[in-house]
Each structure stands twice: as C-alpha cells, then as structure tokens.
Chains A and B, each alone.
Chain A
C-alpha cells in the first residue's frame, strides 16, 4: 500500500498526470494491445482462414460509405478479407516482433555493455568498433540486406535480423553509464569489504546504470515495429501467410488508383498510432529521467 502511495505522490507521476498527450498515447497503446491480444474474440472474421472468406464480399468500402455493410466495419480487400480483423491480427505480429526485439536485443546488449564497461580491454574495443560499424550501416539497411540475401521468411528470422544490429545501442548506453558508476566510492567500498565482481555488478553497477535503457527501449520498440512493417512492405519480411500491417499496406497500394483507399489508410493509421504513441512516451521518459535535459529546460 505504501508503495502505491509512493508512486502516487512521486514527481514523475504528477508530471505524467499533467501531460495529456502522454496519457492519450498510453490509452491508445492499451487499446491496440488489447485488440491484438484478444483478436480471436473481437475480430468478426479470421482473415487467414480461407474458408471464411467470401469473394462476393471483396473490396467493400467501410460501413459509412455506400455499398459498405456490417460486419465489415472498415471494408474488405480483394479476397473479401475484413480489414478490421486483419488489422487486429496484424498488430499482433507487430507487437510480438517489437516486444521480442526489445527483450532479446535489450537483454543481450545490456549484458555485453555491462561487461565491456566493467572490464574494459579488448572486449570493450571490439564492441565499440562493432557498434560504430552497425550504427553507420543503419539497422534498416542491415536487416534488409540480410533478409534479402537469404530469401526465407519467417517471423523469427525477421526478429533475428532486427536484433543483429539492435543490441548495439543498449550496449553503448549502459557501457557509458557503467564507466562512470564504477568510479563511485561505494563500488570501492564494496570491493574493500570483499565482494566479488559478480556481486558488485549485479547488486551495485546494474541497478545504477539501467535507467537510461528505458528510453532506448521505448524508442527501439517503435523502431522495430516500423522496421518489421517496412521489411514486410518490401516483401522480404514475414511470410505471406502471416498477417502484417506492412504487408496489408503493400497489397493495398495496388488498389489506391482504383479508389480503394481504406486498404492503406486504416492499417497505416494503426501503424502510425502505435509508433507515434511509443515515441511520445519515450520523449516523456527522456525528459523525466535524463537530468541533463531537465537542467537545460530549467535554465
């Protein structure tokens, strides 16, 4: 109970209540996440069960347009797939890829960065140079070339391709933190009373260096989702049998000239809503937890 109260009266929480945009972003994310999780219960149709598709329902506009009818709330595509249902299932893929990438790349990056910062030496040099290289080649390019060369598509491969370059940012950030934390006196004192490296790292260094990763994770979450959509849009991402917002947009693009805008605008809108909300929250986190920026704004 007292913990709850501590959160309630904490400064970040008060600031949170005063930022309507960030609150709105959280709500939007919650709605989309709930829609994705409960997709099989909410969706009027399972868009990837071919037997449930009716060709006579193909290319129906959204309900509020002439020719549109329920249950196809947001219209249907060429094969009579309900756009609303496909978006629900597609956001599942997006969120799954995003969460997996953040956990895998974040965990690995934090681990490597912690070691590099604490022990320094050759490991540190290699990791930093590798980081420079990955950064200058950009995650988009690396993932695209990797998947393009191997020409096999599965969700796991997409996650792997994004993670291969994604861990670098975490490693660099935590390394920088560790470098300053390990000079603190309490680290010296723990060593003096005989703590071993493992204990020092887990008990003292890690908790004091991890908070900036929160911002990175929020930005990276959005970026991974955007990257998955881009890869699927280009046809090197998730397989055709997998619902994906990027692929919906790619397929809908061919129907734009025929006036079937709903095939692109709705999935695109949901994609943008997810990424924009994540970026808003990341921005807020940065303002709240990065003291450097805070001082800037006060001055």
Chain B
C-alpha cells in the first residue's frame, strides 16, 4: 500500500509541476508586465528597472525558479489592476467561496445520498420513477439556468430571498467574515448553495442508486436476508457501507467540477468569492491573479485526489493488501 500511495503522490507532484509551468507562462509572458507596472509614461531606465525587478532579464529557468520559490512562499506578485498583493486579494475572497462550497456540498451529499438509498430500496415505486426523471432534469440543467430560475421564482415573483451578495456577516477570529451565524447571511446563502449543489446532488443521487442496486444484487446481501436480518439492517449496515465507496470517491473527484460551477454561481449571485475574482481578472487580463488562482485550484484538487486515493486504499482491501 505504501508504494501505491507514494506513486499517487508522485503523480500529483508531476501534475502540479505541469500546472505551475502553465501558470508561470501566463504570469510571465501574457500581457506586458513592464508596461502595466511601470506605467505608460515610464522612461527607458524605469522600464529596465522594472524588468530586472521582475527578473525578466534573466534566463528562462531562473525566471521559472524564482517564480516557483516565490509561489511556495505565497508571493504571487502584484495585481495589475488593483496593485495589491495577489495573495491578499485571494485570501480575502476565500471565506465566501469556502462557505458557499461547504453549504452546497452538504446539500448535495445529504439529499443526493438519501434519495439514492430510497430509490434503490424501492426501485419500482412511482415516487422512485419521479425522482429518476427529476434527477435527469437536474443533470440537464446548466448551473446558470438553475440560478436564474431560482432568482426569478424566489426573488422576483414571491420576493422572499435576496438575489445578490452575502448579507450581514459576523467576524470570526478577526479575519474570517462568516455568513453562517446571521439570519440574513443564511438567507443570502440558500439560493447560491442550491444552485451550486444541484448538479452535484443529481449526480450523487444517480451514483448512489447505481452503486446500491449493484450491491443489493450481490450474494452476500441474499445471505444476510436469508439469515433473517431485518431489511433495515441489510439496507444500511450491509448494502450502504459497500455502496458508499464509489460515492465517496466521486465526491472527492468531483471537486474540480464544483470549483468550475462555483465561478458561474458566484457570477450570478454576485457572491464576493474567489470565483468572481477570477472572472473579473479574466475580463481585465489581470494575469498574476489568474496564475495564482490556477496554482491554488490545482493544489487543492491534487491534494484532494491523493486523499481520495488513500481513503480508497483504506476502504478497499484489494489494494490494502497488495
């Protein structure tokens, strides 16, 4: 198992290396950092000064190395647009994004898995068929349509939920501005969380159902039933435990999808998170922010993947004993 995990970690590092290369390329060669930072009216000497400040006069590998050593220390340079350190810009936005992702994932996992179990236990009931068709609609709805339909329904037609922003926030530990602890904050959270979680929920529902159906057809379930265990115990203790392995893997692997959809969701609800920062940086060609965002996202995803691989190995004896 150790070699298995070591190999996975090595693969993760390779991915990070490639991504860092792409980010470096974006950071150093797209746009004109000298012109942007020194200003249009800078003299030739000033431009040269900025050029050597950014190491642009150094050979390629030294530039790359200094970019990486800075990145590891959390230094991604200055934003071209707001002239603030990029790291600070992103860190300010993170609490909003993390809270949205947590709320959405919670909704997706709880509702998706419960529905999946229910439908697998009663595959031919009318309610199950209804949910199955419903989930197909769920995966057919683009995220932005979900958001717009929710706004149309709850903000414009019956006007009970606010369509934009985060509402009243509470300061936690001096830094973390949280919307979890005020009624207004929670009200602002409902629609974005539903929007972001909808696709994930429908997907988890379908995967749980599939995995449950597969497990329920296995011999050991028949044995468990034959020895007289109640259907509740068979369903939850025997079937669900085994069915959850692919589901948990999926939750980890789908995180990239969640980050992508978060960009869309944050744009619709004007949620002040990292995703909407990325969008504005794209529109304004603020390449340092783009580079930092890409590295951050890659690090998160690679980390989660290694975590998924490890937990998969722990849960699955076939790999554990290899």
A residues in contact (CB < 8 Å) with B: 21, 129, 132-133, 135-138, 140-141, 144-145, 148-149, 151, 222, 226, 229-230, 233-236, 246, 249-250, 253, 256-257, 259, 261, 264-265, 268, 271-272, 275-276, 278-280, 283, 295-296, 299
| Residue in chain A with minimal CB distance to B18 | A133
**Contact: A133 with B15, CB < 8 Å?**
yes
| Residue in chain A with minimal CB distance to B147 | A253
| Residue in chain A with minimal CB distance to B305 | A136
Residue pairs across A and B with CB atoms within 8 Å: the count is 110
**Contact: A249 with B259, CB < 8 Å?**
no
B110 within 8 A of partner (CB): no
B183 within 8 A of partner (CB): no
**Shortest CB distance A72–B (Å):** 21
B214 within 8 A of partner (CB): yes
Given contacts A234-B264, A249-B145, contact A135 B136 (CB under 8 A): no
| Residue in chain B with minimal CB distance to A231 | B264
Chain A hits for B261, CB < 8 A: 140
**Contact: B263 with A276, CB < 8 Å?**
no
Given contacts A264-B148, A272-B145, 5 further A-B contacts (CB under 8 A): A141-B259, A149-B26, A233-B144, A253-B268, A256-B152
Chain B hits for A230, CB < 8 A: 142-144, 264
Give the interface size bracket for B toward A. 35 or more
B residues in contact (CB < 8 Å) with A: 11, 14-15, 26, 30, 133, 136-137, 139-145, 148-149, 151-152, 156, 213-214, 217, 253-257, 259-261, 263-264, 267-268, 278-279, 282-283, 285, 287, 290, 294, 297-298, 301-302, 304-305
Chain B hits for A275, CB < 8 A: 140-142
**Shortest CB distance A1–B (Å):** 37
Chain A hits for B257, CB < 8 A: 138, 140-141
**Contact: B264 with A296, CB < 8 Å?**
no
Given contacts A136-B305, A138-B256, A272-B145, contact A148 B278 (CB under 8 A): yes
The CA of A271 and the CA of B142, in the complex, are separated in Å by 9
Given contacts A148-B278, A264-B152, A271-B145, contact A276 B283 (CB under 8 A): no
The CA of A265 and the CA of B304, in the complex, are separated in Å by 38
The CA of A261 and the CA of B156, in the complex, are separated in Å by 10
Chain A hits for B264, CB < 8 A: 230, 233-234
User: Contact partner of A149 among B15, B214, B267, B290, CB < 8 A?
Assistant: B290
